[in-house]
Structure 1
Amino acid sequence: MTPHATTGERAGRREWTGLAVLSLPTLLLSLDMTVLHLAVPKLSADLAPSSTQLLWIVDIYGFLIAGFLIIMGTLGDRVGRRRLLLTGAAAFGVASVLAAMSDSAGMLIATRALLGLAGATLMPSTMSLIRNMFHDPRQRTVAISVWMSSFMLGAGAGPLVGGAMLEHFWWGSVFLLSVPVMVLLLVAGPFLLPEFRDPTAGRIDVVSAALSLGTVLSVVYGIKQTAEHGVGLVPVLAALAGLVLGVVFVRRQRTLATPFLDLRLFRSRGFTVSLTTVALSIFAMGGVIFFVAQYLQMVLDMSPFTAGLYSLPGVLAGMVGILAAPALAQRFPAAYLMGGGLLVAALGVGMLTTLTPESGAATAVTALVVLHVGFGPMIALGTDMIIAGAPPERAGAASAISETGTEMGMALGIAVLGSVGAAIYRTEIGGRLPAGLPPEATDVASDTIGGAAGVAEQLPGALGAALMDAAGEAFVTGLRTTAAVSAVIVAVIAVAATALLRGVTPGDGGGHGEPPAGDDGPRGRGEPVEAGR
C-alpha cells in the first residue's frame, strides 16, 4: 500500500505538548470509573447508604456521562471546545472535592451526578480538539493513539491506584486524585490549546437536546438494570421508551434547517462502518472481560488489588497495540489492520474457552494479553476514522457519537452476554450444590457467584469450600460458553469490517460517498472559527 499522503499543516511542539495536557483528564476519567468500586465497603460503613442509594452512588456517574455526551459534544461545536473543556474541568475539580467531603449518601449521590455531568464535557472536547490540532493524517493517527492509550492506562491503573490509596487514606481520597490534574489543565489549557467552534452552527434546539438526553438515559438505564437484576418490566419499558424517543429525535433532525445533530455525518462510509465496528467489538469483548475480572476474584479468590495486578499485562499489551497502529498504518491498509487485529482478539477470546477453576491465572492473563494486543489497532484506527469522517467543525458531535457508541456497546455487552453467562450459571449450579445448605442459602447461591461467595462466608469451612467449588465450576462453564459466542462475533466483525472499509483510510475524510456535512460545497467544508493560537 502507498503510505498515507501527508497533507495539511503539520503540528509542532505546542500541539504535542497540548496533547499531553489533553491526555491527563482522559486518563483520570477512565481511572475515576473504576476506583469507586474499591471504595464501596469503606463508604458503606461510613455513610450507611440504603441498597438503592448505594446503587445510585455507583451508577449515576456513568448514567449522566452517557446521557450528556451528545449534548456536550454538540454544545462544544457551538460555544467553543476549549471553553467547554475548561469549564467542565473546573466543575469536575470542585465536584471531586465535594464528593470527597460528603457526609451523607444523598450528598455523595448529588456530587457524583455533578461529576458525571462535568465528565461528559471532557471526552468529546479532548477528542475533537485533537481533530482540530492535528491536520496531518499521519500525525493525527499518532495523536489519537496516544490519547486512546492514556484511556486504557487509566482503566488499568484504577484498581492499583485506588487500592493503594484506600490502604493509607479514607475512602474520599480517591476523588481527590482529579484535583491537581484539573488545576494543571486550567493553568496550561489557555496557553496550549486553541479554540475552535463552528461559526454556522446556529442556536441549540432545546427540544432536540431533551430528546437526546431522554433517549440515551432511558436505553442505558434499561440495559444496566437488566444486566444487574435480570429482565423486568420496568427496564424493558425504559429501553422501549428510549427507542421511541430516539425515533422522534431522528425525525426532528430531518425537519430542522440547523439540526442539533447533523445526521449527514452517517453518509461517510468510514465514519459509519468504523463506529459500528468499534461499538460491536466492545459489545462482544466487554462482557467477556467483565467475566474474567470475576473469575480472578471469585474463582481464584484474589483481592481487587491483586486482580488488578494480574490484569495489568493485558492493559499494557493493549497500549502496545494502540501505539503500534500508526506505524503499521504506513505499511498496510487500515481495513486489513483492523480486521487482522480483530482476528487476533478473537483468538484471545477463544483461549478463554479452555479455562477451568484449576487453570490458575496464567491462561486468563495470556488470553487478555492476546485479546488486547489485537484490539489495540482496531480501536486506534477505528476512532481515527470516526473523527476523520467528520469535517473539523462537526468534530465535537462526531466525538460524542463515538463515545456514546462505546458506552452503549459496553453496557449492552455486559447486559446481554452477562445474562447468557448468568443463565448458564443458574442451570449448572443446581446439580452441583453440596448437601446441607439451608433453603434460603440455596436460593442466594443459585443466583450469582457473588451470592454464593457471600453465603460461603457464613458456612462452616468444609461446607463453604464445597459451595465455592460448585459455584466456581458453574461460573466457568458460563464463562467458556460466553467466550465461545464472543469469539465468533468478533471474527464475523473482523471479516465484515475488512470488506466494508477497503479503500478507506483514516486520513481521507471518510471514504467514498457524499460529504458528511452539507450539500452546499464550501459550506459543508467550512473552516471553524479559530482563536487563541
Structure 2
Amino acid sequence: MQDAMTPPRAGRREWIGLAVLILPLLLVSMDVSILYFTVPFISRDLVPSSTEQLWIFDIYGFVLAGFLITMGALGDRMDRRRLLMIGAFGFSAASALAAYSSSAPMLIGARAVLGVAGATLMPSTLALVRNMFHDEKQRSTAIAVWTAVMTSGIALGPVVSGMLLEHFWWGAVFLINIPAMVLLLTLAPILLPEYHSAGRGRFDLGSAGLSIAAVLPVIWGIKEIAAHGVDVTRAAAIVAGLMIAVVFIRRQQRRPDPMLDLAVLRRPAFAGSVMVSLLAAFAMIGFAVLSTQYLQLVLGMSPLKGALWSLVPSAGVGAAAPIASTLVRRGVDRAKIIAAGFVVAAGGFAVLSAVPVESGLAVWLVGSGMYAAGVVVVLSTATELAVGTVPPERAGASSALMETATEFGGALGIAILGSVATAVYRAQLGHHVPDSARETLSGAVVTAAHLPPAAASDLLRSAREAFVASLHTAVWTSAAIMLLAAAVALIYLRGVATPRPAAEAELLASPGPLNR
C-alpha cells in the first residue's frame, strides 16, 4: 500500500498521455525550420517581396517567443487540457489557412496565428507533464523524453519538408500538422487530466500586454542585428523591450496574484536552470546556421542531403537524454550532470575546430554528435529541475519562462556567433575580392557563378578557406562559453534539488490544484 505522504506514481494512462503530448510538441518545434526548402516554390506561386519573404520565415518564431509567458500564465488560471485543445484547434485551422494561402500577406498572417497557437501548446505540454508525473524519478524520465523530442523536431523539419516537396506542393508542409492535431483532440479528453487551479485571480491583461511588448522587440532586434548588423532602429528596439520588461517586473511586484511569480526566480534551482538553458540554446541554435552552411556551401551538399546528414548527430541526442535521466534517478547531483553535459559539448566544439575545408564530414559528425548530446543532457536536466521546483499551479508560466529563455539564448547565439564568424570571414578574405563575395559565403558562390572558370575556382577556394577559419573561431568561442557555463552550473546549482516526496504529497493534498 502506498504511503499517504508519497506522491502517486504514474501508470499506463499517464505514459500513453505523454505520447499524446509529444505530437503537438514535435510539430510546433518542426514548424520553426520546416520552410527551409520551400523558398523557390513559395516565391514562384505567391511572388513575395524580399521583406515579405523574410517575414514569412520569421513571424512564426517572433510571435511564438512573444506569447509564451502569456499563454503559460493563462494555462495556470484555466483548465490546461482545455487550453491545449484550443491551441490544437487553432494550430490546425492556421495550418490549413497557410497551406492554401493565395498571397504573401495571407501566408504571413497564417504563420502569425500558428505562432500564437504554438505558444499555447508548448507550455501546456510541459505543465501537463508536471501535473501527470509527481514521482521525481518518473518525472525526470518524462521530461527527458520531452526535451529530446523538442530538440529533434527542429532538426527534423527540413528533412520532412524536403521529402514532401519531392511529391507534393509547398502547402503540404503545413497540412501534415492537421492529422496529428485531430488525433490530439480525440485522445486528450480520454488520456490527459483536467487541471483546475482554485484561488487564482483573474487573468491580468495588462501584464500580458507588457510581456508581449517586452519580448517581441528584443527578439526582433537581436535577430535583425544578426542578419543585417547594428543600426539605430534595431538597437532602439532592444532598449525599448528592456524598458518595458522593467515596467512588467514592477507590475508583478505590486500585484497580489502576479502573472509571473518573481519569487520563483529567487530560487537558485529555478534561476540557475533558466541561465544554463539559455547558455545551452546559445550554442546549439547559434551554431546550427554555420553548420548548415558548412554542409551545403563548403562540402557542396544539396539541401536535402545536408538535412539528412544533419540528422545523424541526433542519434547521440536520443541516447543522451535517457542517460541524464538515469543519473538523476541514481541520486547524482544535478549540478555535476549539467556541468558534465557542458564539458562534453565543449569537447564536441573542440573536435569541430579540426574540420578541414575538404572531406570533413566524419569530423563534423563526431563533433556535432558530441556537442548535441552534451547540450541535450543540460536541457533535459535543467528543465526537470526547474519544473520540479515550482508548485503545480505555477507550472504553466514557469515552463513558459524556461522556453522563452531558450528562445533568447538561440537568438543571442545566432547574433553573437554569426557576428564573430562574419568578422573573421571578412578579415581572412581580404579586400582583393568583390564586395558581394566578402559579405557571406553564399554571396561568394553567387559571385563566382558570373566569373570565368579559373577566377571562379580561385574565389570559391579562398571563400571556403575563409569560412572554415571563421567556423573554427566560432567553435572555440562556443567551447569557451560551454566551459564557463559548466562553472556557473557548479556554483549556482550544487546541492539544489526538487521538493522532497513528502512535500510534494502535502502540496497535492492541500486545497488548490485539483487533478481528476
State the TM-score bracket (shorter-chain normalisation).
Answer: over 0.9
2:389 aligned partner: 389
In the alignment, the residues of structure 1 paired with residue 508 and residue 269 of structure 2 have an alpha-carbon distance, to the nearest angstrom, of 17
For residues 159-238 of structure 1, the aligned pairs below 5 Å read 159-238=158-237
Q: Secondary structure at the match of 2:31?
A: helix
In the alignment, the residues of structure 2 paired with residue 54 and residue 483 of structure 1 have an alpha-carbon distance, to the nearest angstrom, of 30
Alpha carbons of structure 1 residues 432 and 301: separation in structure 2 relative to 1, 3 Å: farther
**Structure 1 stretch 495-504 or stretch 128-137: which is displaced more?**
495-504
Alignment gaps of 5+ in structure 2: none
Q: CA deviation at 1:281?
A: 2.1
Cα offsets for 1:469-496 (capped at 9, x unmatched): 1111111111111111110110111122
2:104 aligned partner: 105
Q: CA deviation at 1:319?
A: 1.8
Q: CA deviation at 1:359?
A: 4.3
Q: Secondary structure at the match of 1:254?
A: helix
Alignment gaps of 5+ in structure 1: 1-5, 434-441, 516-521
1:269 aligned partner: 268
The answer to whether residue 497 in structure 2 is matched with residue 498 in structure 1 is no
Q: CA deviation at 1:318?
A: 1.2
| 1:320 and 1:376 in contact (8 A); partners too | no
For residues 120-519 of structure 1, the aligned pairs below 5 Å read 120-331=119-330, 332-430=332-430, 433=433, 442-506=434-498, 508=500
**Structure 1 stretch 280-289 or stretch 9-18: which is displaced more?**
280-289
Q: Report the identity percentage.
A: 47
Q: Secondary structure at the match of 1:283?
A: helix
In the alignment, the residues of structure 2 paired with residue 360 and residue 265 of structure 1 have an alpha-carbon distance, to the nearest angstrom, of 46
Aligned partner of 1:364: which letter? W
2:53 aligned partner: 54
Q: Secondary structure at the match of 1:423?
A: helix
Q: Secondary structure at the match of 1:313?
A: coil
Q: CA deviation at 1:524?
A: 12
Aligned partner of 1:461: which letter? P
Q: Secondary structure at the match of 2:514?
A: strand
The answer to whether residue 50 in structure 2 is matched with residue 66 in structure 1 is no
Q: CA deviation at 1:377?
A: 1.7
| 1:76 and 1:197 in contact (8 A); partners too | no
1:437 aligned partner: none
In the alignment, the residues of structure 2 paired with residue 476 and residue 52 of structure 1 have an alpha-carbon distance, to the nearest angstrom, of 30
Cα offsets for 1:257-305 (capped at 9, x unmatched): 1212111111221111011011112213432232111111111111121
In the alignment, the residues of structure 1 paired with residue 140 and residue 21 of structure 2 have an alpha-carbon distance, to the nearest angstrom, of 15
For residues 2-21 of structure 1, the aligned pairs below 5 Å read 7-21=6-20
Aligned partner of 2:514: which letter? E
| 1:391 and 1:525 in contact (8 A); partners too | no
In the alignment, the residues of structure 2 paired with residue 20 and residue 527 of structure 1 have an alpha-carbon distance, to the nearest angstrom, of 30
Aligned partner of 2:362: which letter? A
In the alignment, the residues of structure 2 paired with residue 71 and residue 113 of structure 1 have an alpha-carbon distance, to the nearest angstrom, of 15
| 2:321 and 2:377 in contact (8 A); partners too | yes
Q: CA deviation at 1:166?
A: 0.5
Q: Secondary structure at the match of 2:17?
A: helix
- Return the TM-score normalized by structure 2: 0.95
In the alignment, the residues of structure 2 paired with residue 89 and residue 425 of structure 1 have an alpha-carbon distance, to the nearest angstrom, of 44
Cα offsets for 1:190-210 (capped at 9, x unmatched): 111112132222012222111
Cα offsets for 1:143-194 (capped at 9, x unmatched): 1111112123322222221111011111111001100000000000011111
Aligned partner of 1:89: which letter? A
| 2:95 and 2:175 in contact (8 A); partners too | yes
Q: CA deviation at 1:461?
A: 3.0
Q: CA deviation at 1:358?
A: 2.0
In the alignment, the residues of structure 2 paired with residue 456 and residue 192 of structure 1 have an alpha-carbon distance, to the nearest angstrom, of 57
- Return the TM-score normalized by structure 1: 0.92
**Structure 1 stretch 446-455 or stretch 209-218: which is displaced more?**
446-455
Alpha carbons of structure 1 residues 527 and 345: separation in structure 2 relative to 1, 3 Å: farther
Q: CA deviation at 1:525?
A: 9.6
Q: Secondary structure at the match of 1:171?
A: coil
In the alignment, the residues of structure 2 paired with residue 228 and residue 528 of structure 1 have an alpha-carbon distance, to the nearest angstrom, of 47
Q: CA deviation at 1:37?
A: 1.5
RMSD: 1.9
Q: Secondary structure at the match of 1:197?
A: strand
Aligned partner of 2:493: which letter? L
1:3 aligned partner: none
Q: Secondary structure at the match of 1:384?
A: helix
In the alignment, the residues of structure 2 paired with residue 528 and residue 326 of structure 1 have an alpha-carbon distance, to the nearest angstrom, of 29
Alpha carbons of structure 1 residues 212 and 359: separation in structure 2 relative to 1, 3 Å: same
Alpha carbons of structure 1 residues 375 and 525: separation in structure 2 relative to 1, 3 Å: farther
In the alignment, the residues of structure 1 paired with residue 291 and residue 95 of structure 2 have an alpha-carbon distance, to the nearest angstrom, of 30
Aligned partner of 2:393: which letter? E
Q: Secondary structure at the match of 1:530?
A: strand
| 1:218 and 1:241 in contact (8 A); partners too | yes
Q: CA deviation at 1:232?
A: 1.2
In the alignment, the residues of structure 2 paired with residue 80 and residue 205 of structure 1 have an alpha-carbon distance, to the nearest angstrom, of 17
